[in-house]
Chains A and B, each alone.
Chain A
Amino acid sequence: MVEPPGGHHTRGYEPFADDEPGLERSLWWWHYNTSKKGVVLALDDPRFAALVDTADLVLEAHYLDDAPHRARRPELIWVSVTPFGRAEGGLRQATDLTVLAGGPVWSCGYDDHSIPPVRGGGNQGYHTASLFAVASALTAYLARTVHGVGQLVDVNMHACANVTTEAASYDWLVAQRTVQRMTGRHAGVNLSTASIAPAADGRMVHTGVPPRSAREFASLLRWLGELGLRDAYPESFFLDMGVERGGVQMTELRIDAEAMAIFNAGREAMRFLAERLPAYEFFVGAQRCGLAAGIVYSPEEVITDPHFVARGFPVEIYHDEIGRSAVHLGLPFVCQAAPGAITRAPHLGEHDAEILGPLH
């Protein structure tokens, strides 16, 4: 991580550890820079070019001129991430919000369209561009191993947001149809039924894709029975029919009233159960029956869930900045190449001697 004198601007981003601002206390910095080394180096310092000459890859978001560096080292891979691609040259200002407005925001929000559409939380416009940048860097690296070429990779954040909208794009591309946003579920051309519902403890659950196969209807009936609720659910009859007719196909629903009644009974049964069970019990109970349903966790609840703990996803890292450890989110992969051991983000100039020392 090459920082300017005084530190990268994101060191000033909130939140700060213990709410005390400081160059080494930004939790944003802590999260996005784990496992990196860090140096302080002005771009006009001659050692910057020397550092580039030791690198496989340069990743930047400042419209830096790659040409002199790539002229010196044709095998260099230069990945540039900008709001609208390098050709537009920074004419328009952009943030995460405005980038997402150009793509997915249209699809997100509430049934009531007098309420503004909603930006998904967590600066996902930046994440989206980052993922494409990482995939690009690795792809270019593999290309270099075969063809021996370095290259410039131009990552356009606006374009990234545009191809991260699922059906909103291809409904228009294929059928010139415009999807409409709906509360907590897929935007669509036709109004659908709510899939997020309150559980008995007031927490929210996702009732999932309604049962369709005979096996799923049978599981649902069995679960109702185990809970002593089979007779209490007024549409159990239709669930039995779902078993007997071997399930229902989505393509049947518009043309077969019986199939639609069975499908609706399955969906309502999930809501019926959600209303009678605590959220976690509903989630686990449904899944144990082979029914895909979920619980609406807040982000901090994920790190205490027994599954993620068992996989080692929450990772404890000691922070000398605060004299104690903090639990970070780990890597979503279990494999040899990514053993899951992430290390804390670098302090300002922490690796200057190691990295810059040998440069001339």
Chain B
Amino acid sequence: MADRLRALAHLRICDFTGQLAGAGATRWLAAFGAQVIRIEDPTNQGRWDILRGGEPYKDDRRGIEFGGGFQNHNVEKLGITLNLRTERGKDLLRELVRVSDVVTENYAAGVLDRWGFGFEQLKALRDDIIYVSNCGFGQRGPYREFRTWGPIVQACCGLTFASGLPDMESAGWGFSYMDHHGGNFMAVAILAALVHRQRTGEGQWVDMSCTEAGASMLGPVVLDYTVNGRPLRRAGMPSSNRSQFPRMAPHGIYPCAGDDEWLAIAVRDERDWSAVRDTMQLPDRDRFGDEDVLDAEIASWTCSRDKFVVADVLQSRRVPAAAVLKPHERIDDDENTAAWGLWPTVSHREMGEVRVDGVPVHFSETDWRIENGAPCLGQHNDAVFGGLLGLSSDEIDTLRAEGVI
């Protein structure tokens, strides 16, 4: 019985988010049962979210209903269309806000305000409303108007610079890491505000800065500068395959047999080091002082060996080692992710059955559920405008005819 409970089924989210930095936040809420109503602009077919019609495509079918990223990030949500250039559209949004717990968006700063739905207007509609905005530099400060995407956030917060090998340009991140964690920080902001409201009855506006969220994940490096005067921008740094904090050596990613095959090894202490030295028959060296030499010796040992075999050998001696997994290896061939149910299959109205990211946690009593694909454009107009707001089918038809939805 208990596993049928939904953790957040008592909540309704009026959701303007898009891309991953915003959609990722409300994806979490929807997976735990919140009713997330995603609002899209019918006049441009929701194309503000550039992922809506973007690659990858299942069976190479293209169009606004076939974006693979959009589908992944918007599972379990409802989708409606609403033309906020019309007064009737604004009226309907007001009605929706009155019956919602949270309004979410990740537009550039001030967009909702210009539409007449800034926090004060939202609060006038519902006194305990929670409004969470997530924009690149936040809604206050000299850069409030600046526009960002994940890679720009990562560049401006220090994450790009911190990722790379010595004497080379920044490797940065090979994806929008801060879209993922922009969404995760935003989910935390929403949930924390809900807890605050539950305790005090107060709603509030949470102004989240995605760039600050990224910077906050580099704390020890920043303190090393503010306390010790040691910047990361110095000779020989960054060296992010090594481990300065906590200090470990050898610590790196080494070549293995095959095309673009790699193995990660982290030697934490003398016990690990003894096991690695014994396994690879390495000479006894100063593992911190001779790290360059040791890396070369380890690489010459691993380069002719299978990455999974070496990882197993080292793990059998309780040394942290792991193959660098290619997507198919961790999605199709990994026993742990399979047993976790990490890649659920959802049903999408146009795409059919598609596998998506699951949730990397399990709750014993109110676990997540992902079964339904992302909404097609306006897929839930009847359910929301009719079922929730009480409009008749004739009224909804009129809204369609007048371009309001």
Chain A residues in 8 Å Cβ range of B62: 251
Chain A residues in 8 Å Cβ range of B60: 175
**Nearest-neighbor residue (CB-CB) of A174 within chain B:** B68
Residue-wise, chain B 95-120 has the 8 Å CB interface mask toward A (1 for contact) of 00000000000000000000000000
Of the residues A102, A127, A140, A165, contact of B175 by C-beta under 8 Å: A165
Chain B residues in 8 Å Cβ range of A84: 336
Q: Is B161 an interface residue (CB 8 A)?
A: yes
**A116-B252, A116-B254 known; A159-B342 Cβ under 8 A:** yes
* Closest CB in chain B relative to A266 CB, distance in Å: 15
Q: Is B305 an interface residue (CB 8 A)?
A: no
* Closest CB in chain B relative to A137 CB, distance in Å: 9
**Nearest-neighbor residue (CB-CB) of B213 within chain A:** A332
Whether A175 and B56, one on each chain, are in contact in the complex, defined by CB atoms closer than 8 angstroms, is yes
* Closest CB in chain B relative to A299 CB, distance in Å: 3
A153→B7 CA distance, assembly (Å) = 12
Whether B328 and A294, one on each chain, are in contact in the complex, defined by CB atoms closer than 8 angstroms, is no
- Which one of A30, A128, A311 has the highest number of Cβ atoms from chain B below 10 Å of its Cβ? A311
Segment of A40-48, A176-184, A349-357 engaged in the interface with chain B: A176-184
Segment of B80-88, B141-149, B278-286, B378-386 engaged in the interface with chain A: B141-149
Q: Is B45 an interface residue (CB 8 A)?
A: no
Segment of B35-43, B216-224, B395-403 engaged in the interface with chain A: B216-224
How many interface residues does B have (CB within 8 Å)? 157
Whether B361 and A154, one on each chain, are in contact in the complex, defined by CB atoms closer than 8 angstroms, is yes
A123→B244 CA distance, assembly (Å) = 10
**A105-B253, A105-B324, A337-B193 known; A297-B262 Cβ under 8 A:** no
Chain B residues in 8 Å Cβ range of A113: 260
**A108-B174, A167-B56, A174-B68 known; A162-B149 Cβ under 8 A:** no
Chain B residues in 8 Å Cβ range of A187: 174-175
Q: Is A63 an interface residue (CB 8 A)?
A: no
A14→B169 CA distance, assembly (Å) = 26
Whether B336 and A158, one on each chain, are in contact in the complex, defined by CB atoms closer than 8 angstroms, is yes
Whether B7 and A120, one on each chain, are in contact in the complex, defined by CB atoms closer than 8 angstroms, is no
A101→B54 CA distance, assembly (Å) = 28
Q: Is A258 an interface residue (CB 8 A)?
A: no
Of the residues B10, B196, B202, B227, contact of A17 by C-beta under 8 Å: B227
A284→B233 CA distance, assembly (Å) = 21
Whether A196 and B5, one on each chain, are in contact in the complex, defined by CB atoms closer than 8 angstroms, is no
Of the residues A121, A165, A189, A195, contact of B218 by C-beta under 8 Å: A121
Q: Is B274 an interface residue (CB 8 A)?
A: no
**Nearest-neighbor residue (CB-CB) of B247 within chain A:** A14
Q: Is A31 an interface residue (CB 8 A)?
A: yes
Q: Is B168 an interface residue (CB 8 A)?
A: yes
A283→B146 CA distance, assembly (Å) = 10
A171→B263 CA distance, assembly (Å) = 23
- Which one of A120, A181, A306, A332 has the highest number of Cβ atoms from chain B below 10 Å of its Cβ? A332
Q: Is A186 an interface residue (CB 8 A)?
A: yes
**A93-B320, A292-B148, A300-B225 known; A206-B58 Cβ under 8 A:** no
Whether A332 and B209, one on each chain, are in contact in the complex, defined by CB atoms closer than 8 angstroms, is yes
Whether A251 and B53, one on each chain, are in contact in the complex, defined by CB atoms closer than 8 angstroms, is yes
- Which one of B189, B209, B211, B322 has the highest number of Cβ atoms from chain A below 10 Å of its Cβ? B322
Q: Is A232 an interface residue (CB 8 A)?
A: no
Residue-wise, chain B 44-78 has the 8 Å CB interface mask toward A (1 for contact) of 00000010011111101010000011011000000
Chain A residues in 8 Å Cβ range of B192: 138, 337-338
Whether B327 and A329, one on each chain, are in contact in the complex, defined by CB atoms closer than 8 angstroms, is no
Residue-wise, chain B 195-209 has the 8 Å CB interface mask toward A (1 for contact) of 110100010111111
* Closest CB in chain A relative to B19 CB, distance in Å: 11
* Closest CB in chain B relative to A129 CB, distance in Å: 8
Residue-wise, chain A 8-22 has the 8 Å CB interface mask toward B (1 for contact) of 001001110111000
Whether B354 and A173, one on each chain, are in contact in the complex, defined by CB atoms closer than 8 angstroms, is yes
Which residues of chain A from 280 to 314 have any CB-CB distance to chain B below 8 Å in the complex?
283, 287, 290-303, 306-308, 310-311, 313
Q: Is B347 an interface residue (CB 8 A)?
A: no
A181→B164 CA distance, assembly (Å) = 13
Whether A196 and B172, one on each chain, are in contact in the complex, defined by CB atoms closer than 8 angstroms, is yes
Whether B226 and A104, one on each chain, are in contact in the complex, defined by CB atoms closer than 8 angstroms, is no
A88→B366 CA distance, assembly (Å) = 22
* Closest CB in chain A relative to B148 CB, distance in Å: 6
Of the residues B149, B155, B227, B355, contact of A196 by C-beta under 8 Å: B155
A164→B358 CA distance, assembly (Å) = 11
Whether B216 and A332, one on each chain, are in contact in the complex, defined by CB atoms closer than 8 angstroms, is yes
A179→B327 CA distance, assembly (Å) = 8
A163→B390 CA distance, assembly (Å) = 38
**Nearest-neighbor residue (CB-CB) of B32 within chain A:** A139
* Closest CB in chain A relative to B325 CB, distance in Å: 5
How many interface residues does A have (CB within 8 Å)? 146
A287→B11 CA distance, assembly (Å) = 37
A128→B217 CA distance, assembly (Å) = 10
Whether A295 and B156, one on each chain, are in contact in the complex, defined by CB atoms closer than 8 angstroms, is yes
Segment of A235-243, A269-277, A320-328 engaged in the interface with chain B: A320-328
**Nearest-neighbor residue (CB-CB) of B194 within chain A:** A142
* Closest CB in chain A relative to B13 CB, distance in Å: 13
- Which one of B54, B152, B254, B319 has the highest number of Cβ atoms from chain A below 10 Å of its Cβ? B152
**A15-B245, A88-B336 known; A121-B266 Cβ under 8 A:** no
Whether A335 and B205, one on each chain, are in contact in the complex, defined by CB atoms closer than 8 angstroms, is yes
Whether A122 and B218, one on each chain, are in contact in the complex, defined by CB atoms closer than 8 angstroms, is yes
Whether B331 and A169, one on each chain, are in contact in the complex, defined by CB atoms closer than 8 angstroms, is yes
Chain B residues in 8 Å Cβ range of A147: 5, 7, 365-366
**A105-B324, A179-B327 known; A143-B204 Cβ under 8 A:** no
A134→B265 CA distance, assembly (Å) = 28
**A149-B5, A170-B356 known; A332-B169 Cβ under 8 A:** no
Chain B residues in 8 Å Cβ range of A110: 165, 168, 171
A85→B342 CA distance, assembly (Å) = 12
A157→B192 CA distance, assembly (Å) = 22
Whether A300 and B221, one on each chain, are in contact in the complex, defined by CB atoms closer than 8 angstroms, is yes
Q: A146-B7, A296-B161, A300-B225 are in contact. List 10 more A-B contacts (CB 8 A).
A: A85-B362, A101-B322, A121-B159, A151-B364, A169-B331, A175-B60, A206-B151, A311-B141, A332-B215, A337-B192
A-B pairs, top 9 by smallest CB distance, nearest first, are: A121-B162, A31-B219, A299-B158, A159-B360, A107-B174, A138-B191, A332-B212, A143-B7, A300-B225
* Cross-chain pairs A/B with CB under 8 angstroms, 23 sampled: A31-B219, A31-B220, A101-B324, A108-B175, A117-B253, A138-B191, A141-B195, A151-B363, A151-B364, A155-B360, A162-B331, A170-B72, A171-B55, A174-B71, A186-B176, A206-B151, A294-B152, A296-B155, A298-B233, A307-B137, A310-B142, A311-B141, A326-B227
